Amino acid sequence: MAEMSVNLCGIELCNPVIAASGTFGYGYEFAELYDINMLGTFSFKGTTKEPRFGNPTPRIAECTAGMINAVGLQNPGVDKVISEELPLLSKCFDKKVMANVSGFSIDDYVYTCERIDSCEQVGWIEVNVSCPNVHGGGMSFGTSPESAAEVTGAVRRVTKKPIIIKLSPNVTDIVSIAKACEDAGADGISLINTMLGMRIDLRARKPVIANKMGGFSGSAIFPVAVRMVYQVANAVSVPVVGMGGVTCAEDVVEMMLAGATAVEVGAANLVNPYACRDIINDLPRVMGKYKIESLKDIIGGCR
Protein backbone atom coordinates (compact mmCIF):
# COMPACT_ATOMS: atom_id res chain seq x y z
CA MET A 1 0.00 0.00 0.00
CA ALA A 2 1.33 3.45 -0.96
CA GLU A 3 2.44 5.48 2.08
CA MET A 4 1.64 9.13 1.36
CA SER A 5 2.07 10.72 4.79
CA VAL A 6 4.70 13.40 5.44
CA ASN A 7 5.73 15.46 8.45
CA LEU A 8 5.72 19.24 8.06
CA CYS A 9 7.43 21.11 10.90
CA GLY A 10 6.42 18.48 13.46
CA ILE A 11 2.83 18.04 12.28
CA GLU A 12 1.87 14.87 10.42
CA LEU A 13 -0.04 15.20 7.14
CA CYS A 14 -1.90 12.26 5.62
CA ASN A 15 -0.53 13.34 2.23
CA PRO A 16 1.67 16.21 0.98
CA VAL A 17 -1.04 18.06 -0.99
CA ILE A 18 -1.92 21.52 0.34
CA ALA A 19 -4.36 23.89 -1.34
CA ALA A 20 -2.56 27.21 -1.77
CA SER A 21 -3.60 30.50 -0.24
CA GLY A 22 -5.76 32.70 -2.39
CA THR A 23 -7.19 29.79 -4.36
CA PHE A 24 -9.19 28.00 -1.66
CA GLY A 25 -10.86 30.82 0.29
CA TYR A 26 -11.40 29.81 3.89
CA GLY A 27 -12.18 26.24 2.90
CA TYR A 28 -15.87 25.89 3.63
CA GLU A 29 -16.87 26.85 0.07
CA PHE A 30 -14.96 23.86 -1.30
CA ALA A 31 -16.38 21.64 1.44
CA GLU A 32 -19.70 21.90 -0.38
CA LEU A 33 -18.09 20.09 -3.33
CA TYR A 34 -16.09 17.32 -1.60
CA ASP A 35 -14.70 16.26 1.77
CA ILE A 36 -11.76 18.62 2.21
CA ASN A 37 -10.48 16.51 5.11
CA MET A 38 -8.79 14.39 2.43
CA LEU A 39 -6.29 17.24 1.94
CA GLY A 40 -2.97 17.26 3.74
CA THR A 41 -4.18 20.71 4.77
CA PHE A 42 -4.78 24.06 3.09
CA SER A 43 -3.47 27.59 3.44
CA PHE A 44 -6.35 29.99 3.89
CA LYS A 45 -6.80 33.30 2.09
CA GLY A 46 -4.11 35.88 2.74
CA THR A 47 -5.01 37.74 5.92
CA THR A 48 -3.98 41.22 7.02
CA LYS A 49 -4.36 43.30 10.19
CA GLU A 50 -7.14 45.48 8.76
CA PRO A 51 -9.90 44.56 6.28
CA ARG A 52 -8.97 45.09 2.62
CA PHE A 53 -11.27 45.57 -0.35
CA GLY A 54 -8.41 44.75 -2.69
CA ASN A 55 -7.36 46.32 -5.98
CA PRO A 56 -9.74 47.95 -8.48
CA THR A 57 -11.18 45.80 -11.26
CA PRO A 58 -10.44 44.28 -13.71
CA ARG A 59 -8.15 42.02 -11.66
CA ILE A 60 -7.70 38.97 -13.90
CA ALA A 61 -6.00 38.47 -17.28
CA GLU A 62 -5.79 35.19 -19.15
CA CYS A 63 -2.43 33.98 -20.47
CA THR A 64 -1.12 31.00 -22.37
CA ALA A 65 -0.79 28.19 -19.80
CA GLY A 66 -1.64 30.50 -16.92
CA MET A 67 -3.25 33.68 -15.66
CA ILE A 68 -2.37 37.03 -14.13
CA ASN A 69 -4.20 38.19 -11.02
CA ALA A 70 -4.06 41.38 -9.02
CA VAL A 71 -6.74 40.78 -6.40
CA GLY A 72 -4.70 42.68 -3.82
CA LEU A 73 -5.18 40.63 -0.64
CA GLN A 74 -8.93 41.20 -0.34
CA ASN A 75 -9.93 39.87 3.09
CA PRO A 76 -12.06 40.82 6.12
CA GLY A 77 -9.10 41.41 8.46
CA VAL A 78 -7.66 39.12 11.10
CA ASP A 79 -10.24 39.84 13.80
CA LYS A 80 -13.14 38.76 11.60
CA VAL A 81 -11.18 35.78 10.30
CA ILE A 82 -10.84 34.61 13.90
CA SER A 83 -14.39 35.42 14.97
CA GLU A 84 -16.28 34.42 11.82
CA GLU A 85 -14.29 32.47 9.22
CA LEU A 86 -12.54 29.95 11.46
CA PRO A 87 -15.74 28.95 13.32
CA LEU A 88 -17.39 28.24 9.95
CA LEU A 89 -14.36 26.21 8.88
CA SER A 90 -14.44 24.13 12.07
CA LYS A 91 -17.77 22.68 10.98
CA CYS A 92 -16.26 21.01 7.91
CA PHE A 93 -12.50 20.66 8.54
CA ASP A 94 -11.12 18.77 11.53
CA LYS A 95 -7.39 19.16 10.81
CA LYS A 96 -4.90 21.90 11.50
CA VAL A 97 -5.12 24.67 8.91
CA MET A 98 -2.30 26.89 7.63
CA ALA A 99 -2.78 30.63 8.15
CA ASN A 100 -1.39 32.86 5.41
CA VAL A 101 -0.45 36.31 6.75
CA SER A 102 0.64 39.47 4.98
CA GLY A 103 1.30 43.04 6.03
CA PHE A 104 2.39 46.54 5.12
CA SER A 105 4.77 47.03 8.03
CA ILE A 106 6.63 44.92 10.57
CA ASP A 107 4.01 45.92 13.14
CA ASP A 108 1.25 44.62 10.85
CA TYR A 109 2.89 41.20 10.61
CA VAL A 110 3.50 41.09 14.35
CA TYR A 111 -0.07 42.03 15.25
CA THR A 112 -1.67 39.53 12.89
CA CYS A 113 0.62 36.64 13.82
CA GLU A 114 0.21 37.34 17.52
CA ARG A 115 -3.58 37.22 17.16
CA ILE A 116 -3.45 34.00 15.17
CA ASP A 117 -1.07 32.39 17.64
CA SER A 118 -3.98 31.91 20.03
CA CYS A 119 -6.05 29.97 17.46
CA GLU A 120 -6.04 26.24 18.21
CA GLN A 121 -7.21 25.45 14.66
CA VAL A 122 -4.06 26.93 13.12
CA GLY A 123 -1.10 24.59 12.84
CA TRP A 124 1.34 26.73 10.85
CA ILE A 125 1.65 30.40 9.97
CA GLU A 126 2.70 31.01 6.38
CA VAL A 127 4.20 34.49 6.36
CA ASN A 128 3.82 36.02 2.93
CA VAL A 129 6.70 38.37 2.09
CA SER A 130 6.15 37.84 -1.62
CA CYS A 131 2.83 39.24 -2.86
CA PRO A 132 3.41 41.25 -6.07
CA ASN A 133 -0.13 42.66 -6.15
CA VAL A 134 -0.01 45.32 -3.42
CA HIS A 135 1.91 48.56 -3.08
CA GLY A 136 4.11 49.20 -0.07
CA GLY A 137 3.87 45.71 1.40
CA GLY A 138 4.09 42.03 0.57
CA MET A 139 6.91 41.55 -1.91
CA SER A 140 8.80 44.64 -0.72
CA PHE A 141 9.75 42.68 2.42
CA GLY A 142 10.92 39.63 0.52
CA THR A 143 13.32 41.08 -2.02
CA SER A 144 16.38 41.26 0.24
CA PRO A 145 17.82 38.94 2.89
CA GLU A 146 17.86 41.73 5.45
CA SER A 147 14.19 42.72 5.18
CA ALA A 148 12.98 39.12 4.97
CA ALA A 149 15.01 38.25 8.06
CA GLU A 150 13.61 41.27 9.90
CA VAL A 151 10.03 40.10 9.33
CA THR A 152 10.95 36.54 10.26
CA GLY A 153 12.62 37.54 13.52
CA ALA A 154 9.79 39.85 14.54
CA VAL A 155 7.16 37.16 13.95
CA ARG A 156 9.27 34.50 15.66
CA ARG A 157 9.20 36.52 18.88
CA VAL A 158 5.38 36.56 19.10
CA THR A 159 4.34 33.05 18.12
CA LYS A 160 5.16 29.52 19.19
CA LYS A 161 3.59 28.02 16.07
CA PRO A 162 5.80 26.89 13.19
CA ILE A 163 6.39 29.79 10.81
CA ILE A 164 6.90 29.15 7.11
CA ILE A 165 8.15 32.12 5.09
CA LYS A 166 6.67 32.38 1.60
CA LEU A 167 9.22 33.74 -0.87
CA SER A 168 8.99 35.54 -4.19
CA PRO A 169 10.63 34.33 -7.43
CA ASN A 170 11.03 37.98 -8.47
CA VAL A 171 14.54 38.21 -7.03
CA THR A 172 18.10 37.60 -8.23
CA ASP A 173 19.26 35.33 -5.37
CA ILE A 174 16.51 33.21 -3.80
CA VAL A 175 19.01 31.13 -1.81
CA SER A 176 20.48 34.00 0.22
CA ILE A 177 16.97 35.16 1.19
CA ALA A 178 15.90 31.66 2.23
CA LYS A 179 19.04 31.19 4.33
CA ALA A 180 18.52 34.56 6.00
CA CYS A 181 14.98 33.53 6.96
CA GLU A 182 16.23 30.22 8.36
CA ASP A 183 18.89 32.01 10.40
CA ALA A 184 16.24 34.40 11.76
CA GLY A 185 14.10 31.55 13.09
CA ALA A 186 11.92 30.28 10.23
CA ASP A 187 10.73 26.69 10.66
CA GLY A 188 10.19 26.27 6.93
CA ILE A 189 10.26 27.98 3.55
CA SER A 190 7.49 27.97 0.94
CA LEU A 191 8.07 28.93 -2.69
CA ILE A 192 7.39 30.12 -5.23
CA ASN A 193 4.74 32.80 -5.14
CA THR A 194 3.56 34.22 -8.46
CA MET A 195 5.91 35.82 -10.95
CA LEU A 196 5.35 39.43 -11.96
CA GLY A 197 3.53 39.63 -15.29
CA MET A 198 1.53 41.92 -17.54
CA ARG A 199 -0.89 41.80 -20.49
CA ILE A 200 -1.85 44.64 -22.86
CA ASP A 201 -5.22 45.10 -24.56
CA LEU A 202 -4.35 45.61 -28.23
CA ARG A 203 -7.49 47.57 -29.06
CA ALA A 204 -7.41 49.87 -26.04
CA ARG A 205 -3.59 49.99 -25.98
CA LYS A 206 -3.56 49.84 -22.22
CA PRO A 207 -2.93 47.15 -19.57
CA VAL A 208 -5.65 44.51 -19.26
CA ILE A 209 -5.77 44.74 -15.47
CA ALA A 210 -6.29 47.98 -13.54
CA ASN A 211 -3.17 47.38 -11.45
CA LYS A 212 -1.16 47.21 -14.72
CA MET A 213 0.92 44.29 -13.44
CA GLY A 214 0.05 41.27 -11.34
CA GLY A 215 0.98 37.76 -10.29
CA PHE A 216 1.52 35.30 -13.14
CA SER A 217 0.63 31.74 -12.15
CA GLY A 218 -0.25 28.45 -13.82
CA SER A 219 1.56 25.54 -15.43
CA ALA A 220 3.88 27.83 -17.40
CA ILE A 221 5.87 28.70 -14.24
CA PHE A 222 6.34 25.10 -13.05
CA PRO A 223 9.95 24.66 -14.33
CA VAL A 224 10.99 27.88 -12.59
CA ALA A 225 9.38 26.68 -9.37
CA VAL A 226 11.11 23.29 -9.53
CA ARG A 227 14.47 24.98 -10.07
CA MET A 228 14.04 27.34 -7.11
CA VAL A 229 12.74 24.59 -4.80
CA TYR A 230 15.79 22.51 -5.72
CA GLN A 231 18.17 25.41 -5.03
CA VAL A 232 16.63 26.32 -1.68
CA ALA A 233 16.16 22.74 -0.45
CA ASN A 234 19.86 22.12 -1.03
CA ALA A 235 20.83 25.24 0.90
CA VAL A 236 18.66 25.11 4.04
CA SER A 237 17.99 22.47 6.68
CA VAL A 238 14.33 23.37 7.32
CA PRO A 239 11.47 21.85 5.32
CA VAL A 240 10.51 23.38 1.97
CA VAL A 241 6.94 23.63 0.71
CA GLY A 242 6.98 23.68 -3.08
CA MET A 243 4.42 25.38 -5.31
CA GLY A 244 4.05 27.07 -8.65
CA GLY A 245 2.20 25.59 -11.62
CA VAL A 246 1.40 22.22 -10.01
CA THR A 247 -1.47 20.57 -11.89
CA CYS A 248 -1.14 16.79 -11.48
CA ALA A 249 0.20 14.00 -9.28
CA GLU A 250 3.36 13.73 -11.39
CA ASP A 251 4.10 17.38 -10.60
CA VAL A 252 3.81 16.62 -6.88
CA VAL A 253 6.36 13.82 -7.17
CA GLU A 254 8.70 16.03 -9.21
CA MET A 255 8.51 18.80 -6.61
CA MET A 256 9.29 16.32 -3.85
CA LEU A 257 12.25 14.93 -5.74
CA ALA A 258 13.49 18.52 -6.01
CA GLY A 259 13.35 18.75 -2.21
CA ALA A 260 9.81 19.71 -1.20
CA THR A 261 8.35 18.07 1.90
CA ALA A 262 4.84 19.18 0.92
CA VAL A 263 3.37 20.68 -2.24
CA GLU A 264 0.81 23.46 -2.64
CA VAL A 265 -1.68 23.52 -5.50
CA GLY A 266 -2.81 27.01 -6.49
CA ALA A 267 -4.11 28.19 -9.85
CA ALA A 268 -5.29 24.69 -10.76
CA ASN A 269 -8.06 25.08 -8.16
CA LEU A 270 -9.41 28.06 -10.09
CA VAL A 271 -9.62 26.02 -13.29
CA ASN A 272 -10.93 22.84 -11.68
CA PRO A 273 -12.31 23.07 -8.12
CA TYR A 274 -11.67 19.32 -7.75
CA ALA A 275 -7.97 19.64 -8.67
CA CYS A 276 -6.58 18.78 -5.21
CA ARG A 277 -9.01 15.88 -4.81
CA ASP A 278 -8.05 14.47 -8.20
CA ILE A 279 -4.31 14.83 -7.54
CA ILE A 280 -4.57 13.03 -4.19
CA ASN A 281 -6.64 10.22 -5.68
CA ASP A 282 -4.10 9.77 -8.48
CA LEU A 283 -0.98 9.77 -6.29
CA PRO A 284 -1.08 6.00 -5.51
CA ARG A 285 -1.15 5.21 -9.25
CA VAL A 286 1.82 7.51 -9.94
CA MET A 287 3.72 6.09 -6.97
CA GLY A 288 3.16 2.58 -8.32
CA LYS A 289 4.28 3.59 -11.80
CA TYR A 290 7.60 4.90 -10.47
CA LYS A 291 8.00 2.21 -7.80
CA ILE A 292 7.68 4.61 -4.86
CA GLU A 293 6.60 2.93 -1.64
CA SER A 294 6.71 6.00 0.61
CA LEU A 295 6.68 9.68 -0.36
CA LYS A 296 8.89 10.50 2.62
CA ASP A 297 11.65 8.49 0.95
CA ILE A 298 11.79 10.61 -2.19
CA ILE A 299 12.11 14.08 -0.61
CA GLY A 300 15.23 15.61 -2.14
CA GLY A 301 15.86 12.44 -4.09
CA CYS A 302 17.00 14.17 -7.29
CA ARG A 303 20.70 13.48 -7.67
Q: Which residues are catalytic?
A: 131
Q: Widest CA span of the chain, in angstroms?
A: 57
End-to-end CA, the chain: 26
What is the 3-state secondary structure of the chain? CCECCEEECCEEECCCEEECCCCCCCCCCHHHCCCHHHCCEEECCCECCCCECCCCCCCEEEECCEEEECCCCCECCHHHHHHHHHHHHHCCCCCCEEEEECCCCHHHHHHHHHHHCCCCCEEEEEEECCCCCCCCCHHHHCCCHHHHHHHHHHHHCCCCCCEEEECCCCCCCHHHHHHHHHHCCCCEEEECCCEEECCEECCCCEECCCCCCEEEECHHHHHHHHHHHHHHHCCCCCCEEECCCCCCHHHHHHHHHHCCCEEEECCHHHHCCCHHHHHHHHHHHHHHHCCCCEHHHHCCCCC
CA distance 290 to 292: 6
Tell which residue, 261, 263, 260, 266, has the closest CA to residue 231. 260
Residue 232 near residue 263 (C-beta atoms within 8 A): no
Number of neighbouring beta carbons within 10 Å of residue 300? 16
